[in-house]
Structure 1
């Protein structure tokens, strides 16, 4: 069945009437490309059938067709004429009435005679319209809209589709992208097709055909190890080798052809080949026999959550991947579980020495590794051990690279791996170990190079954020954008006469935000709070006004460590943090975040800052301050839309000059 409107619904599963308008508007915008589902071919094969007086079938109307009619009209109670008008083949009033009566005899509808119109029908259980899961497929757009999906459906969809939007209650929108099919955790297309049918409730032939075409593309090339030890690029056919690989690659990447379907790969160019062919639409299967390093037994001394074990299992199947989950979801613990699976010497790459220290402490606390087995390699200390934590910058420097090249690593972990595509950090990806694992809360980049993350490290592995919120593993913070008036006329006049980025800087440092921060802190007197800023001048001004420390990139490492330790031990309940605090610093007990400036930077930065309060304890608050009537309003709203699509609720408040609030949403 190829109709987009009702393909894949389980019988008796219904979309709320409120969502129907959205579905109809989407259909209209799509040029009415779908076929109408209300045909006799949809009739329940097991239902009793008879013939009415005018010769038309008296088989029961499909129950979902009645629900579709309810959605189109916006009413749960309909006459036969109203139902008939929603059907493309324009059956007679009597024929529809007979088929509705057949549904009534089956117990699916109730029939009521009223004075204004002789007979109306309505579902036997009106709650069916709102309380049950319903899946609607749009194969031409490769979109799947799911209303109230259960955990099983969401888990199945996550194996071949990307969650594009989700609000937790009214529905979720999934998009099936080429990379989702390329990275599906299945050994065969038949296995993937079974997963799709389980998630959708039935077969969508058009969508499956497209998915199979992408599956075939993902299995055209592979990297293998020749018996003499060098790497070979192998194509499935001479045509694809000649028309794709040999057109895209040059002498930098390959020495010479070995056969019509094989090329001899230059040492060190494997990552570049994978990236180039991925961008051409042909991901490469990496089946090289890479060194696994010395064996290292690692026991995990903490219990894993079910979804963390699922991540590890998927990593074990592929040998590579990126754990994607919100802050607080336990990606580091899951990575240690991957180490326990690999049982090989491990290199962990991190963006800062603070995060290197945290990794070393966490490994010592939650694994069987002894302190002498864990080393750190950065500006502060340089020790290479069976498990070594190094910064990306050090690992990418020529004078240090040989230290890491000479050791055979069984596993390389890329923490905060959204950095990997950057020109400085990607130098570290020459370390092509047998197993590669990335960790990221938000693997998105404003330069649209996020696909390189998955070619250089591995495919995404994760659980949608809303599922973690629903299950209580991660607390969903309350997000609120507060539009603040100018603090003084001088800044407002300067903004009016400025241009470009200077206008944004002036709005970001609006001194009116100081009073608003005081108000918010006074409203939450018992909270441990973080205030984020993007500008050193603003951070210093706030630190003076509030008499609290300002932690920035200029803060000496020993002082930064002391402040963070005091915060963790509840000896300090307020810190002002610059962009240095966005990543790589674990602040697990923060329950209030105020973003005074900085959401104009990137979607990833918005995720990191909001995520500082995402912990299982719950009750967290995130306030984003934007100067009213400036470009900062648009920046804040745009960046937080990314979090809204992940299932988080975002409110808006406009603050008047006298401090009064007016609710925007």
Structure 2
């Protein structure tokens, strides 16, 4: 015998909004009164009464099927199709979100990794252990509250896994002993014995101080953090590192909301990597961090060109005077309160002591994805109280992103797609164009070539020269960059389109003049080799043609497309691949990384 519902239960047991929520939870476009009652935690009688009332108002409709229960569905199917829907797969720790609201995307950007998106529907998020470790919350309850605010229902399985990861990220700490040396402390005796002392050796730890503490070998801190991170235990770094002499500086530019959020999160963590697309203002956000820290600063960059650009940004956006800024590289060697040095020079033995002796309040690692390589890694061992990396794409083909986050800090960023929607960064149109061979002779040469030679033959397919000429003619007023990997190919294209070719062989002063003329609008087209992939500010590019270089990394593909991502104006990226060769796979792999960031990528064949 069923109990009668309370007198007022049927009045608000089911509303149109709660009915749509229940359908979403069911994952079906129709539902019975019994299913609705179960989802909304009311009696079946109350649900039926409320559904009858909604039907009378024209909001829902019923369908009587012979021998089957009555099912209900919305009168306006569009209402259901346009709603945000969140589907959780707890075993895979994935969420699929259709029509996500700005609020949902903002919340998920703090706790999950955006894996893929089609731009308007079908956002795929994954919660990785790294996302839990780096989440910007003071306690687990804050993390849990954010998670529950976007999920359609609670998931004990997922929440238990997240709590385990949250706990693992707080088991080891590096701190400074009162006598000045560094100590590794574990949360328990078993962790120190079964994890730290099993994974680390005499190169990292001296004799134990206690059952839960060990004396750290000087200079091994970065290696300890990397080894324990890989073992699943990120280390909290609470060492009393250098703060540097005070620096009297203010920011002249007002930060955007998301940039201020980056800075606030960085100041709280004291270490991190700003991750965002070209044009999102990572450099300006870094200057915001510099002024907030207010200590002497070392900025490490990959090239002399980028050092000059940092100087210009510092003078434009801060109150620093020219005499406050020094450059230290192959061309100049001045150490000032704010010093911009190249990674190569800063890592050399004969220069390293100069940087070691100075107490830096902040070290900025620009293009931080280079850090794991040996030549850059030596300069990354320089440590300060605040360590900040910058990168549009901190991915590496050797899967050593872990080194970036252990040597510098965890990622701090914003959903690229949110920046596109908000108008801060213009989303480019990306098209992969598959070209035929220019002749049977070229096709036969490719077919009979050794495996190592095939890639270059495909890259230098003469049909690409004609296609570049055609694309530039289709965009006669666009400021265009044409990217190549091979010098001969670059020269052939440059001759065909009557444009300069900028490569590593081009003298620095000539490069500077050509880039300046492109920025100023005096020159409309440049053909560039890998020197244009990063570290060069070319903010007005409206068209990018990737003519060769499809054997490169996902990061390289993103960097080249990123040359067109700026706050205003539309831009187009064409990626040229020779049909039937490995370039097809390379192009799809490179552009898939952009698609994961929310950029629309299309594919077309060229006859």
TM norm structure 1: 0.85
Look up the match of 2:486.
Answer: 535
Task: Please state if 1:389 is matched with 2:337.
Answer: no
Q: How does 1:274-289 map to 2 (within 5 A)?
A: 274-289=225-240
In structure 2, the residue matched to 1:102 is 50
Shift of 1:385: 0.6
State yes or no: 1:338 paired with 2:289.
yes
**Partner residue of 2:134 out of 183, 190, 210:** 183
Q: Secondary structure at the match of 2:110?
A: coil
* 1:37-76 alignment, distance < 5 Å: 48=9, 63-64=19-20, 67-68=23-24, 72=28
Q: Using the TM superposition, give the Cα deviation of residue 489 of structure 1 relative to its aligned residue in structure 2, in angstroms.
A: 2.5
Structure 1 residues 349 and 69: CA distance shift in structure 2, 3 A? closer
Q: Deviations over 1:512-568 (max 9, x none)?
A: 011111111111000000000011110011112222110011110000001001001
Change (3 A) 1:193 1:96: closer
CA–CA distance in 1 between the matches of 2:158 and 2:6?
Answer: 24
Q: 1:411 maps to which residue? A: 362
**Is the alpha carbon distance of 1:214 and 1:120 closer, same or farther for their aligned partners in structure 2, counting shifts above 3 Å?**
closer
Give the 3 Å change call, closer, same or farther, for CA 223–489 of structure 1 in structure 2.
same
Cα-to-partner distance string for 1:334-366 (whole Å, 9 max, x where unaligned): 000000110000000011111011001111111
Contact 1:350 1:390 in 2 (8 A): yes
3-state SS of 1:300 partner? coil
In the TM superposition, what are the counterparts of 1:507-656 in structure 2 within 5 Å? 507-656=458-607
Question: Aligned ranges for residues 55-204 of structure 1 at < 5 Å?
Answer: 63-64=19-20, 67-68=23-24, 72=28, 99-100=47-48, 102-106=50-54, 109-111=59-61, 121-200=72-151, 202-204=153-155
Please give the alpha-carbon distance, in whole angstroms, between the structure 1 residues aligned to 2:80 and 2:20.
Answer: 10
In structure 2, how many angstroms separate the alpha carbons of the residues matched to 1:289 and 1:335?
A: 22
Per-residue deviation, residues 3-40 of structure 1 (Å, max 9, x unmatched) = xxxxxxxxxxxxxxxxxxxxxxxxxxxxxxxxxxxxx9
Determine the C-alpha separation between the residues in 2 that align with 1:47 and 1:250. 70
Query: What is residue 400 of structure 2 aligned with on the other side?
Result: 449
Q: Closer, same or farther in 2 for the Cα pair 1:47/1:639, shift >3 Å?
A: farther
Q: CA deviation at 1:64?
A: 4.9
CA contact 2:433–2:604 (8 Å) conserved in 1:
yes
Structure 1 distance, partners of 2:376, 2:25, is: 56
Identify if the C-alpha distance between structure 1 residues 494 and 409 changes in structure 2 by more than 3 Å, giving closer, same or farther: same
- Does structure 1 conserve the Cα–Cα contact (< 8 Å) formed by 2:23 and 2:31? no
Instruction: Say if 1:491 and 1:558 are closer, same or farther in 2 by CA, change over 3 A.
Output: same
Call closer, same or farther: CA 1:351–1:420 in 2, change over 3 Å.
same
The partner residue of 2:349 within 387, 398, 414 is 398
Alpha carbons of structure 1 residues 526 and 118: separation in structure 2 relative to 1, 3 Å: same
Please state how far the C-alpha of 1:97 moved relative to its aligned partner.
10
1: CA distance between counterparts of 2:19 and 2:551? 49
Name which of structure 1's ranges 474-483 and 159-168 shifts more when overlaid on structure 2.
Answer: 159-168
Contact 1:103 1:109 in 2 (8 A): no
Secondary structure (helix, strand or coil) at the match of 2:314 reads helix
Correspondence for 1:22? none
1:644/1:482 CA distance change after superposition, 3 Å: same
SS in 2 for 1:316: helix
CA contact (8 A) 2:518 2:524 kept: yes
Say if 2:159 is the partner of 1:217.
Answer: no
State the match for 1:34 in structure 2: none
Contact 1:47/1:60, CA 8 A, preserved across alignment: no
Aligned length: 594
What does 1:214-363 correspond to in 2, within 5 Å?
A: 214-363=165-314
Change (3 A) 1:600 1:100: farther
Deviations 1:43-81 (A, max 9, x none): x9998369xxxxxxx999973586359964xxx5x586x
Deviations 1:148-177 (A, max 9, x none): 222221121111111111222112111111
Secondary structure of 1:137's counterpart equals strand
Question: Can you list the C-alpha shifts for 1:439-464, whole angstroms capped at 9, x where unaligned?
Answer: 00000000000111011100100001
Deviation of 1:128 after TM superposition, in Å, equals 2.5
CA distance in 1, matches of 2:131, 2:420: 23
CA distance in 2, matches of 1:289, 1:567: 46
Summarize deviations over 1:636-656 as a string: whole Å, max 9, x none.
112111111111111111111
Is residue 477–residue 618 contact of structure 1 (8 Å, CA) maintained in 2?
Answer: no
Q: Which secondary structure does the structure 2 equivalent of 1:424 belong to?
A: helix
Counterpart contact for 1:48–1:60, Cα < 8 Å: no
**8 A Cα contact 2:229 2:235, kept in partner:** yes
Give structure 1 stretches of 5+ with no counterpart. Answer: 1-39, 51-57, 90-94, 657-665
**Please, which of 468, 472, 475 is the counterpart of residue 426 of structure 2?**
475
Give the deviation of 1:243 after TM superposition: 0.3
TM-score, with length taken from structure 2? 0.93
Query: Contact (CA 8 Å) 1:165, 1:647: kept in 2 or not?
Result: yes
